[in-house]
């Protein structure tokens, strides 16, 4: 029954035939998979391809249930068939055999390395427009494996919680921004025959560095006429240490203010990024008593 392998069935062709999203989850639901496997089939699989088909059917059933159905609705995937679902999405897990906890108890370092290598191969080979990490472990163990130029997003694991609801709202906002940027970039490439991507009209680029030796945060005021920005964030452990890229994202500063993540001050928007040493995530957060939003991970090389 395990490991669970889903993948996808994208049609052959050019860039427009790529998967809409590559979705990375933490691991298969063993209880749900076992229950549906035993209910639907009384005999084992004759081939590996048959096993993949079974896992895809089970995953499609799971994805059609609330609250995870809301996630796939935000992604624009409301497929009526298994075949259509996996033509549009490539689905994978970090821990495909759902044995991460058991191997951590056994202190087996090769386990993590093995499955991360498999995930890196998928990222390199699968043609997709963006990668979505679902759940903290998916983000923690997969985020840094993504090629630098690939758009990536994070959403908490589907549960009926405020965090998941806010995560869906953030994901929807980011996808809208990226969709606009993608359309602008494609037009620029078409007209310029290979010219580098350009930021959308009205989008101002900012490049900040978070120096961990300075209270683990960086903040500044963005001018009031720059509501929409593209933020590129770098990280360094100390003033003279090597800088590492955390990543970049399009931000709507008004939206951040409305959600308590930024505030308006005389002359602009006050914006702050903070490093949480517990999970090495970089978050947008006014102060420790306020809500926060995940922005990116500190690269493993920077904290090892």
| Domain limits, the chain | 15-174, 199-303
Output the tens digit of pLDDT for each of the chain's 304 residues: 778 888 898 655 444 568 999 999 998 888 999 899 999 998 889 999 999 999 999 999 999 888 898 899 888 887 678 999 999 999 999 999 988 888 877 888 899 999 999 999 999 999 999 999 999 999 999 999 998 889 999 999 999 888 888 888 888 888 877 665 544 444 444 444 443 333 444 577 888 889 888 889 999 888 888 888 889 898 988 877 888 888 888 899 999 999 999 999 877 899 999 999 888 899 999 988 899 999 998 887 776 5
**Residue 16, pLDDT score:** 52
**Residue 188, pLDDT score:** 45
257 close to 263: Cβ distance less than 8 angstroms = yes
The DSSP bridge pattern shows strands 21-25 and 89-93 to be parallel
Q: How far from 3 is each of 27, 28, 47, 190, 233, CA to CA, in Å?
A: 9, 8, 14, 43, 37
Q: Which CATH superfamily is domain 15-174 in?
A: Uracil-DNA glycosylase-like domain (3.40.470.10)
Place of tokens 């390199």: 124
Reduce the DSSP state of residue 237 to 3 states and report it.
coil
Cα–Cα nearest to 89, from 103, 75, 102, 68: 75
264-285 exposure pattern, b = at least 16 Cβ within 10 A, e = fewer: eeeebbbbbbbbeeeebbbbbb
**Residue 184, pLDDT score:** 44
Cα–Cα nearest to 231, from 196, 207, 203: 207
- Cα–Cα distance measured from residue 37 to residue 116, given in angstroms and rounded to the nearest whole number: 27
Triad 183, 185, 188: Cα angle to 5° = 110
DSSP label of 225: T
**Residue 11, pLDDT score:** 59
**Residue 54, pLDDT score:** 93
**Residue 189, pLDDT score:** 42
**Residue 273, pLDDT score:** 95
């Amino acid at each position: 029954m395990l490991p669970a392998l889903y993948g996808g069935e994208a049609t052959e062709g050019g860039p427009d035939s790529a998967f809409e999203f590559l979705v990375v989850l933490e691991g298969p639901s063993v209880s749900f998979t076992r229950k549906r496997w035993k209910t639907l089939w009384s005999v084992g699989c004759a081939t590996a391809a048959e096993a993949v088909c079974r896992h895809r059917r089970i995953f499609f059933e799971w994805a059609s249930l609330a609250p995870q159905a809301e996630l796939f609705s935000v992604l624009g995937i409301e497929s009526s068939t298994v075949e259509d679902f996996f033509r549009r999405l490539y689905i994978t897990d970090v821990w495909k055999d759902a044995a991460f906890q058991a191997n951590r108890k056994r202190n087996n370092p090769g386990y993590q390395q093995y499955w991360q290598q498999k995930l890196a191969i998928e990222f390199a080979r699968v043609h997709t427009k963006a990668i979505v990490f679902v759940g903290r472990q998916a983000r923690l163990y997969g985020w840094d494996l993504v090629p630098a130029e690939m758009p990536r997003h994070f959403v908490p694991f589907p549960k009926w919680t405020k965090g998941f609801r806010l995560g869906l709202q953030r994901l929807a906002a980011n996808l809208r921004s990226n969709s606009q940027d993608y359309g602008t970039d494609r037009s620029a490439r078409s007209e310029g025959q290979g010219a580098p991507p350009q930021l959308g009209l009205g989008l101002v680029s900012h490049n900040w560095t978070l120096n961990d030796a300075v209270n683990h945060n960086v903040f500044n005021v963005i001018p009031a006429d720059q509501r929409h920005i593209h933020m590129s964030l770098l990280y360094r452990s100390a003033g003279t240490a090597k800088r590492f890229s955390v990543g970049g994202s399009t931000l709507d500063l008004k939206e951040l203010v409305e959600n308590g993540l930024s505030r308006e001050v005389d002359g602009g928007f006050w914006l702050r990024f903070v490093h949480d040493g517990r999970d090495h995530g970089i978050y947008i957060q006014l102060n420790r008593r306020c809500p926060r939003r995940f922005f990116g991970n500190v690269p493993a090389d920077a904290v090892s």
